[in-house]
Structure 1
Amino acid sequence: MDIMGHDSRRQKKRFAMMKSIGPKLIPFLKTSCIYFVLWLPTSNPSWFSALIKCLPVLSLGFFVLAHSISQGVYRPYAKKVLVALLFSALGDVFLTWGDQGFFIHGMLMFGISHLLYTWAFGLRPLKLWIALTLLSLGVVYYVAVYSYLRGPMIYAMAGYVVVLGMMSWRALARMACSDYERTWGRRCTAAGAVLFVGSDLVLAIDRFCFTVPHARAVVMSTYYGAQMLISLSVAEQSESEMLWKRN
């Protein structure tokens, strides 16, 4: 077996894939820069500020669609990720008016997005120990913030912690497999899930508990990074994952 030749071909294939991915990510990189450069105040929300906020996520939707078209295959995985991005963008719109009573609406949109990501990631391998670990951490977090919550937010936060934990469980479980199956696409989803959890954690602490220095910059940078990493996973789907989808 020509191991060196196999490794060389795999590296060339990866290089060609990254070369194909790069140009499609330019709209996302540009719109992300526009958001941070303009840094529109959140105290005076408008449809323009909502558009600027959700443009990077919509650009990632363009990336998923453009990559699928270029490959000539629009897989179910990519469709679910695309719809999840659209719900995330809608969540961004609601959160723009979060202080005007639409915060729970934004949480609902992101909850649907996490359920779609969970559906896309699948249930194999199961890795229940990851689920139990995340469940324990989620309970600790909810108990810590419970005393700061009021009214419907008590139940909304509990539901959101559950769906965010489910998404994180499936993303991490996909990576916690054999070295042969641990592809860079699965690493992207796992890293994206971790960033998502970190982003939402800082957002919730800053909104409900106490002021976090530079919270908005931390939340938005980790949020955009999480969405980008999950979107990148559509560029690689292992054969074993495709077989799981057929079963």
Structure 2
Amino acid sequence: MTIIILSLLVFASAAAYMAAIYLKKAKWIYVLKPGTMLLIIGVALIDLQGAGKYGILIVFGLLFSLAGDLFLMLPTDRFLEGLISFFIAHVIYAAAFMAEWSQKLDDLNVLIWLMLALLALLFFRLLLNGVKEKGGRAMVVAVSLYITVISVMTGMSFLSSQGFVIAAALFFYLSDATLAWDRFKSSLKYRDYMVMSTYFLAQFLFAVSVYLF
């Protein structure tokens, strides 16, 4: 019952956040963005004792994601600090999948990894000029490493054999790709809605996946 109530609160908070974006209510946005993440972390914490190593790692991944959110919300441009926080979160998520994966690397998984590698290279090439222009060499290195780690995290998710985990990783990938495209390539009209809806859903699915292992 507790998980159902918390899950409903997560979706209510996320919907309120979207409304705050539409209404341009800055104070609501500052409260609801981290507030929604705290509720999601609460979902993962309900039965953490029984979740083992996987659950503990997922919670740490969620906490570093929350830190990334806070950096990106600051009035000053703290994009690099936010990027580092999310980089750590992806490393932790990948470690969680390694701790619990149930599939061996077969031909299908090799194909998925190759597709992700090609997608990462293509996407980075499309962003490269914008990254150089807006952040210089340091940002090029940071973005290349970030694209690598989120691709690895997504690839690792397929070895978990859990639909919730795979969906969470793919939604996270989509959210970050949308944000990067808007920042470094071309402005997207509905960026905030696309980025945050997929982001909240990804994190919620990660939190729920704690109960699958």
If the TM-score is normalised by the length of the shorter chain, which range does it land in? 0.7 to 0.9
Give the CA deviation at 1:61. Answer: 0.8
Give the match for residue 6 of structure 1: none
Does the 8 A contact of 2:168 with 2:206 survive in 1? yes
Q: Does residue 31 of the first structure (1) align with residue 6 of the second (2)?
A: no
User: Residues 1-247 of structure 1 correspond to what in structure 2 (within 5 A)?
Assistant: 21-39=3-21, 41=24, 49-68=29-48, 73-97=50-74, 100-122=76-98, 124-126=103-105, 127-150=109-132, 151=136, 152-175=138-161, 186-237=162-213
Letter in 2 for 1:89: L
Give the CA deviation at 1:235. Answer: 1.3
Task: Provide the rounded CA distance (Å) in 2 between the counterparts of 1:229 and 1:73.
Answer: 18
Task: Look up the SS of the partner of 2:168 in the other structure.
Answer: helix
Task: Provide the rounded CA distance (Å) in 2 between the counterparts of 1:84 and 1:188.
Answer: 16
Residues 54 and 155 of structure 1: CA distance in aligned 2, closer, same or farther (over 3 Å): same
Please, which runs of 5 or more residues in structure 1 have no aligned partner?
A: 1-18, 176-185, 238-247
Q: Which has the higher contact order (CA 8 A, sep 6+)?
A: 2
The structure carrying a bigger helix percent of its residues is: 2
Structure 1 stretches of 4+ with a deviation exceeding 6 A read none
* 1:12-54 deviation line (CA, Å, top 9, x unaligned): xxxxxxx664223133123212212222749x7x7x7434212
Task: Provide the rounded CA distance (Å) in 2 between the counterparts of 1:125 and 1:109.
Answer: 30
Task: Provide the rounded CA distance (Å) in 2 between the counterparts of 1:196 and 1:62.
Answer: 19
Letter in 2 for 1:125: K
Does the 8 A contact of 1:192 with 1:226 survive in 2? yes
Give the match for residue 242 of structure 1: none
Q: Give the structure-1-normalised TM-score.
A: 0.75
Task: Look up the SS of the partner of 2:131 in the other structure.
Answer: coil
Give the CA deviation at 1:58. Answer: 1.4
Task: Provide the rounded CA distance (Å) in 2 between the counterparts of 1:212 and 1:78.
Answer: 35
* 1:91-139 deviation line (CA, Å, top 9, x unaligned): 0011113x72200100110110011100001165333332222111101
What is the aligned length? 202
Task: Provide the rounded CA distance (Å) in 2 between the counterparts of 1:67 and 1:23.
Answer: 14
